[in-house]
Amino acid sequence: MTYQLSASYCARYNESKPPLPYFPGQEFCIHPHTPPAPTTGEVMLSYEDHRERESMHPVDRCILHPPLPGLTGKGTIRLKIVEPVRIGDQQSAQLVTVHMVDKTPDISDLIPTDKHLVAKFYDPLYFDHEQDDADPFRYTDLAYSHETTAYQLLYPLQGTIIPRYYGSFTLELPIPNKSCSRSIRLILIEKVPGISMQCLNPTNYPQSERQNILKAIIDAESLLYTHDILHKDMHPRNVLVLDSADRRVVLIDFGYCGIGRTPSNSSPEWKAKHLPGVPISPLLRWAQVWDRHANFHEWIDWDWQTWLEHCYEFTKASITEHMRSVWLPKTPSTLPPPRPLAYPIPFPSS
């Protein structure tokens, strides 16, 4: 099976990217890798980056800009790709279902050998080198370092509202027609038996069920925040919906998350002001004035603020004036008023 790559590279350099190596049946030998600390700084292309992109083939750029080093550990796992999850050119990462063919004795027995896992490859070569204004190398370094750190900090939540995490790894990928290879970072996570919310049709769900799903999303995101992780890309594509009362939604993709409630270079006073580790009521952080629910608008046909206040009324007693000063806007909302409803709002019993 072949996967179409951007034809623009053929036109510009008379040479296309190498064929996508992430296809069913392909095997890789990977090694444990300790990632660098979460990167900071700008990921947008500079003027020099634009000039380089215009004059250099993406493969040569990958050779020039290897991933940040980290530390490669002992041991080897041989993986075989079973099926694609999301692959192709112009993707920020390549996701596939894999199973472990074998491993050396120094690899942790906590990595299951009897079930399929998801491998997420942070490969800058198949990033969008043509239209995107982000630097693919700084972006993949940021995504890998932030996602691995987030999973480690969220260890108590693994297997509940986030996937189980089985570690970070590296592999050496030969470059066709060249005598060198490329280092690719990856992680292994649980293959969650859910469906991306983006693939679901909200009209197939009654309002009560949609409300249950939205409440599960709020609860999950709020729990991340209690653990001082800010998910900056709350969108249906990053929510898996499960048919389980115990595990209704699973949040994924922490590549652009905030580690801590404030930027890493914040003063100790500013960090303390945001009360690290203290639960913050959704009545503040998910209030309609923030428009945090906007990406889920196709699922919402009720008055958001009224419903939110009903669901989380029990948290009112936990809200202090200090919390209000930090997590509620200081100016009136510029959002339009909610549309009038032709029917009363049914609230879930729980």
Dihedral (C-alpha) 83, 89, 94, 100: value to the nearest 10 degrees? 40
Dihedral (C-alpha) 207, 213, 217, 219: value to the nearest 10 degrees? 100
Residue 35 CB contacts under 8 Å (≥ 6 apart), including other chains: 68, 70, 144, 145, 148, 149, 168, 185
Rounded Cα gap, residues 325 and 284, in angstroms: 10
**What is the length of the chain?**
350
Rounded Cα gap, residues 316 and 284, in angstroms: 10
pLDDT in tens, 122-154: 999 999 777 678 999 999 999 999 999 999 999
| Placement of tokens 């309002």 in the chain | 207
CATH architecture for segment(s) 8-190: 2-Layer Sandwich (3.30)
Which two structure tokens, joined as six digits, stand for 172? Answer: 């050496």
Single-letter amino acid, residue 176? P
**Residue 42 confidence (pLDDT):** 87
Q: Which of 123, 161, 167 is nearest to 149 (CA)?
A: 167
**Residue 132 confidence (pLDDT):** 74
**Residue 342 confidence (pLDDT):** 37
Q: Where are the domains of the chain?
A: 8-190, 195-327
Encode the chain (350 residues) as per-residue pLDDT tens digits. Answer: 444 455 555 546 667 889 999 999 999 999 999 999 999 988 999 999 989 988 999 999 999 999 999 999 999 999 999 999 999 998 999 999 999 999 999 999 999 999 999 999 999 999 977 767 899 999 999 999 999 999 999 999 999 999 999 999 999 999 988 889 999 999 999 999 999 999 999 999 999 999 999 999 999 999 999 999 999 999 999 999 999 888 999 999 999 999 999 999 999 999 999 999 999 999 999 999 999 999 999 999 999 999 999 999 999 999 999 999 999 987 544 444 444 433 343 444 43
Q: What's the predicted TM-score (pTM) here?
A: 0.90
pLDDT in tens, 28-67: 999 999 999 999 988 999 999 989 988 999 999 999 999 9
Are both 8-190 and 195-327 of the same fold? no
Instruction: Give the fold, CATH level 3, of 195-327.
Output: Transferase(Phosphotransferase); domain 1 (1.10.510)
